[in-house]
Amino acid sequence: MTAPLARRALLQTGAVTAGLALTAIRAQPAAAAAPSVAPITGAIAGHMRLDPMRGATIRLTELGPDGGPVRTLAFVEVPLGALYADGVPRAGSAPLRALSRRAGDLAVRVAAASWGVAPDACRLSGRRITHEASGRMLPFGAWVDFA
C-alpha cells in the first residue's frame, strides 16, 4: 500500500513544482519580423478555378525563363458569396469578372511585396504589373477553368 501513496505524492509534488516554475517564467516578446519575400524574376501566372455554385480558387505561380513553374506565390479560396454582388447567385451576375478582379489585385499585392513597395504604388495594366517610381515591371497572365 505504500507504493501508490509514494507515486501519488511524487505526482503531486511534481505538479506543484511545475506550477511554481511556470509562474516564475515570464514570456519574452518575440521580435516582430517582417515577412521576407524572395524577388520574383519571371512572369506571374494566375490560374483561377470557378464553380459558380460553390466558389473559386486563385493560384499565382512564378514562371521561369523557360515558361515552367518555379514556385507557388499565393493560393486563395474565394467563397461563393464574394463572387456575387449580394452574395447570392443570380442570372446576369458576373462571377468571372469578380474573380478576375480579385486575381489581379492579388497579383499586384504579391509583386509589391516582392519589390518591397506599397501595393497602391503598383498598377496592373493589360498584361503587366508596373511600379512606375522604380521602373520595375512583371508580366502577368491568367486563365480560368470552370468546374
The residue written with cell numbers 509514494 in the block is: 6
| pLDDT value at residue 104 | 96
Confidence of residue 20 (pLDDT cuts 50, 70, 90): very low
pLDDT digits (tens, 9 = 90+) for 31-61: 333 344 688 999 999 999 998 788 999 999 9
Domain ranges of the chain: 43-146
Q: Is the pLDDT of residue 145 over 60?
A: yes
Contacts of 52 (CB under 8 A, 6+ apart): 83, 89, 95, 146
pLDDT digits (tens, 9 = 90+) for 81-126: 888 877 776 666 688 888 999 999 999 999 999 999 999 999 999 9
Main-chain phi, psi angles of 32, to 5 degrees: -75, 115
**pTM confidence score:** 0.71
Main-chain phi, psi angles of 79, to 5 degrees: -65, 155
pLDDT digits (tens, 9 = 90+) for 25-37: 333 333 333 344 6
